[in-house]
Structure 1
Amino acid sequence: MPAPRTLYLNTTDNINLRCLVWDHVEPRAVIAIVHGIGEHCGRYNHVAEYFNQQGYAVMAYDHRGHGESGGPRGHAPNLESLLDDLALFLRAKWRKNTGSKTHYFVRTGWSVMVQLCAPKNKHFVA
């Protein structure tokens, strides 16, 4: 299995967010992995590889202050910055499969974050 592409998104407050992308030529859908607090997206390589082998494109990112993303470790200035980061990740221009339905694999309290983000970004809802 090929390694995922590693990309970085730059936030409005100049934090680099590390993103991993497992492309698929003809994806059934896209799965967006959103890790939990104190984790990093690399913990879900096995999950991403499994779904990729099943025909899905998969993408994941490290929250600010987590994994290989920038920012003070384990810190975000406010809730709005986390929601903005999530929105930036989900609408990133590098997504090759923008017409595909997106499913979410979300850990811990981040399911609430996705729900908070969705009303402002209607295209997020699969």
Structure 2
Amino acid sequence: YRHWPAVEASAGEPRQAVLLFHRGHEHSGRIAHLVDELDLPEFEFFAWDARGHGQSPGERGDSPSFATSARDVQTFCDHIGATHQIDE
């Protein structure tokens, strides 16, 4: 995944994040422009690479099932929360 830290984080305020998800045949690099276009300097931005896309491991474009993809998204959200101290 790719990460853009908040530029104008408010002291004492909870950290907030925007998670970006690419389309089925894309990767996180193709949606990076949205960070600048959305112009939300107080938010952390994270762009996910699905299994087999971008910098993620796995056979290119492959996910064993929709349930696996859903679990991958939950794991990603849990990781972001724990690693970057962002509450749900």
Same fold (TM over 0.5): yes
TM category (shorter chain) comes to 0.7 to 0.9
Q: Tell me, yes or no, if structure 1 residue 22 matches structure 2 residue 29.
A: no
Question: Which structure exhibits the higher relative contact order, with contacts defined as CA atoms closer than 8 Å and separated by 6 or more residues?
Answer: 2
Q: Tell me, yes or no, if structure 1 residue 94 matches structure 2 residue 83.
A: yes
Question: Which residues of structure 2 form unaligned runs of 5+?
Answer: none
Please name the residue that 2:21 is paired with: 34
Normalized per residue, which structure has more strand?
1
AA aligned opposite 2:47 = A
Which of 52, 58, 63 does residue 65 from structure 1 map onto? Answer: 52
How far apart in 2 are the matches of 1:69 and 1:46?
Answer: 20
Runs (4+) off by over 6 Å: none
How high is the sequence identity, in percent, across the aligned residues?
26
User: For each residue in 1:79-122, what CA deviation from the matched residue of structure 2 results, as whole angstroms up to 9, or x when unmatched?
Assistant: 111011100111112224x13xxxxxxxxxxxxxxxxxxxxxxx
Q: What is the TM-score when the length of structure 1 is the normalising length?
A: 0.56
**Contact preservation (8 Å) 2:9, 2:42:** yes
Please name the residue that 1:8 is paired with: none
Q: Tell me, yes or no, if structure 1 residue 77 matches structure 2 residue 59.
A: no
Root-mean-square deviation over aligned CA pairs: 2.1
Q: What is the TM-score when the length of structure 2 is the normalising length?
A: 0.77
AA aligned opposite 1:23 = P
**Contact preservation (8 Å) 1:21, 1:60:** yes
Which of 44, 49, 56 does residue 36 from structure 2 map onto? Answer: 49
Question: Which residues of structure 1 form unaligned runs of 5+?
Answer: 1-18, 100-122
Corresponding residue pairs, total:
81
